[in-house]
Amino acid sequence: MPIRFDNVTYAYPAEESDLVAVREVSLTIEDGSFVCICGENGSGKSTLAKLMNGLLQPTVGVVTVDGKTTATEEEKELFAIRQKVGMVFQNPDNQMVASIIEDEIAFGPENLGVPREEIGERITYALEAVGMSEHRKHTPYKLSGGQKQRIAIAAVLAMRPEVLVLDESTAMLDPRGRAEVLKVAEDLHRQGITVVLITHFMEEAARADRVVVMKDGRVVMDGAPEEIFRDREAIAKYDLELPVADALAASLVEAGLPLEDKIYGESALAEAICRSK
Ligand code: ADP
Ligand code: MG
């Protein structure tokens, strides 16, 4: 079920002149892909994410999910789109409504009118998918940030989405929490869920099949991570960084170690250093 953007512009209404946050974007998110969206603050990433599930509707152009436009007046159709394209945001504390985790997870399916027994099954599935089954009857307040985000993901999974959009969902977490959430995203991708990950962390971007870079509301780069990270000028221009292993590889080459000047990733770099002895 691809998400398609066809020449999409979005402007937030403002008193003086409208603020254009997304400009002339054409983009397809393919079924089963793992796409990372990067770009400096204010480049339009969150606006793009909200256009994907009809939280915002284009000012110009069309967004379709499964061939259906998000610019529908039909409440039912919009609901179906929001169920298919689930979103998790940055701050885990703002996303919790219930005082017991299983109630938190049940909230979405209850709103969808899912029968009782099936809600129970969905809670079991969703908590298992994020590795939080033993917390089913607990309160979410005492969890770590990473665990809270995994519960937020479980709450979305209970809606049986086809696409999971994570909008800087790792930004407020410590390294351990980030790793937990990334692992869940990768597991879900392997199980066939389409993942759209918005992040500032290039280690995360390096794990995606595709990296989309935004600047001033436009898509300025779109390609495989190796392709993006090989373009050092663009990395500087769009306020990105190299993943740590690749920044290290570049320094090693500069310092005279006979490595190929290319994009490695951690394990490939370790092997290349051992071979170069
Ligand atoms: P990013 O997620 O990449 O930081 P956003 O999509 O949040 O970018 O923002 C893009 C632009 O739209 C920015 O200039 C931002 O100030 C503006 N913007 C975002 N949200 C709103 C809003 N609710 N009302 C008005 N302007 C907004
Ligand atoms: Mg944002």
Domain range annotation of the chain: 3-224
Ligand sitting nearest the alpha carbon of 19: 1
CATH superfamily assigned to domain 3-224: P-loop containing nucleotide triphosphate hydrolases (3.40.50.300)
The confidence score (pLDDT) of residue 126 equals: 97
The H or E element spanning position 235 is helix 232-237
pLDDT at 60 over 90: yes
pLDDT at 1 over 70: no
- Pocket residues for ligand 1 (CB within 6 Å)? 12, 19, 21, 39, 41-47
Burial degree of 233 (CB within 10 A; 0-12, 13-18, 19+):
exposed
What average pLDDT score do residues 114-121 get? 95
SS3 262: coil
Q: Which of 271 and 95 is assigned the larger pLDDT?
A: 271
Query: From atom 25 of ligand 1, which residue's Cα is the shortest distance away?
Result: 12
How confident is the model over 207-244, as pLDDT tens digits? Answer: 999 999 999 999 999 999 989 998 989 998 998 988 88
How confident is the model over 15-54, as pLDDT tens digits? Answer: 877 799 999 999 999 999 999 999 999 999 999 999 999 9
SS3 120: helix
Q: What is the DSSP string of 129-146?
A: HTT-GGGTTS-GGGS-HH
What average pLDDT score do residues 110-117 get? 92
Q: What are phi and psi of 42, to 5 degrees?
A: 85, 5
Please give the order of strands across the beta sheet that includes 19-29: 19-29, 3-12, 60-65, 68-69
This prediction's pTM: 0.94
SS3 178: helix
Beta strands 34-38 and 210-215: pairing type? parallel
**Ligand 1, from 8, 15, 17, 19: best to mutate by most atoms within 8 Å of Cβ?**
19
Instruction: Categorize the per-residue pLDDT at 162 as very low, low, confident or very high, splitting at 50, 70 and 90.
Output: very high
Instruction: Categorize the per-residue pLDDT at 69 as very low, low, confident or very high, splitting at 50, 70 and 90.
Output: very high
How confident is the model over 85-112, as pLDDT tens digits? Answer: 999 999 878 778 889 999 999 999 998 8
| Residue 59: alpha-carbon gap to chain centroid | 23
Query: From atom 7 of ligand 1, which residue's Cα is the shortest distance away?
Result: 46
The confidence score (pLDDT) of residue 16 equals: 79
Ligand sitting nearest the alpha carbon of 11: 1
**Ligand 1, from 10, 45, 46: best to mutate by most atoms within 8 Å of Cβ?**
46
